[in-house]
Amino acid sequence: MILQKIRTENMYLYYGNKMALNNVSISIPEKQVTALIGPSGCGKSTFLRSLNRMNDLIDSVKIEGNIFVDDINIYDKNIDVVNLRKKVGMVFQKSNPFAKSIFDNVAYGPRINGNNNKSELKEIVEKSLRDAAIWDEVKDRLHDSAMGLSGGQQQRLCIARTLAVDPEIILMDEPASALDPISTSKIEELIFQLKENFTIVIVTHNMQQAARISDNTAFFYLGELIEYNKTKKIYTNPDKKQTEDYISGRFG
């Protein structure tokens, strides 16, 4: 039986008086890749950022409805947001390594969570870099600046940094959109491996990428969830004409 890891019910999100998400209800299964697609400004990234309360950082945001992770309402007033963001990690569109060594980038999260044990940190850093498929490329330069890595390597380093705090869910906001085709294919291979252990939700503008890497696809348009289903069904036999038009390139 596939467990549902994330669930939203009748979710609305407003920036001030402007509605950005309109009555979104969705169940996202555990240890699968769910892609969010749709034209720019349709609410994909806004929805993604609501899953670990990144939208809390924007003053004018107001959310109605419920968002559950493991059946716990993450907008409950008793929720520890720091712990939530450890459980629900995030990888951004533009790789954002810290101006520190490769080692210190990955060790950063465990350290701020109170782990200063040198041997444990070494193990965490190596495991995270291995899981992010970059260990062999950087193992001899762990104390060099992360800023010297290529764009694709920096993005995999940021994924390693996310993995180092042992999340259960990884949110990815167009993680390959700034990368060349070879780096993109490495990120896609990595996502495929990571879903064995993590629930992944990815925003992508790349229709082919969504088709290649995701198990489920959600199509958003003008703040509404138009259609959500298995990726194969969405791409070969969607229920809604809007979905078919978007996937076939007739609009958006």
Residue pLDDT, tens place only, 154-167: 999 999 999 999 99
Q: Is the pLDDT of residue 143 over 80?
A: yes
For residue 90, give the amino acid letter: M
pLDDT, one tens digit per residue, over 69-93 is 999 999 999 999 999 999 999 999 8
Q: Decide: residue 93, CB within 10 A, 0-12 exposed, 13-18 middle, 19+ buried.
A: middle
Q: What is the three-class DSSP state of 29? A: strand
Q: Is the pLDDT of residue 2 over 80?
A: no
Q: How far is CA 56 from CA 13, 14, 60, 61, 63, in A?
A: 11, 12, 9, 7, 10
Q: pLDDT value at position 211?
A: 95
Percent of the chain exceeding pLDDT 90 equals 89
Residue 208: CB atoms within 10 A of its CB come to 9
Of 80-84, 112-116, 229-233, the range with the highest mean pLDDT is 229-233
Q: Which of 208, 195, 206 is nearest to 28 (CA)?
A: 195
Characterize the bridge pairing of strands 33-37 and 216-221.
parallel
Q: pLDDT value at position 251?
A: 66
Band (57; pLDDT cuts 50, 70, 90): confident
Q: Is the pLDDT of residue 174 over 90?
A: yes
Q: pLDDT value at position 97?
A: 93
Band (178; pLDDT cuts 50, 70, 90): confident
**Residue 223 contacts residue 19 (beta carbons within 8 Å):** yes
pTM tops 0.75, yes or no? yes
For residue 8, give the amino acid letter: T
Q: pLDDT value at position 43?
A: 94
Query: What is the pLDDT averaged over residues 199-226?
Result: 96
Say how far apart CA 12 and CA 46 lie, in whole Å: 11
Tokens standing for residue 125: 């850093």
Band (1; pLDDT cuts 50, 70, 90): low
Say how far apart CA 118 and CA 70 lie, in whole Å: 33
pLDDT, one tens digit per residue, over 18-54 is 999 999 999 999 999 999 999 998 999 999 999 999 9
pLDDT, one tens digit per residue, over 121-131 is 999 999 999 99
Query: What is the pLDDT averaged over residues 174-186?
Result: 90
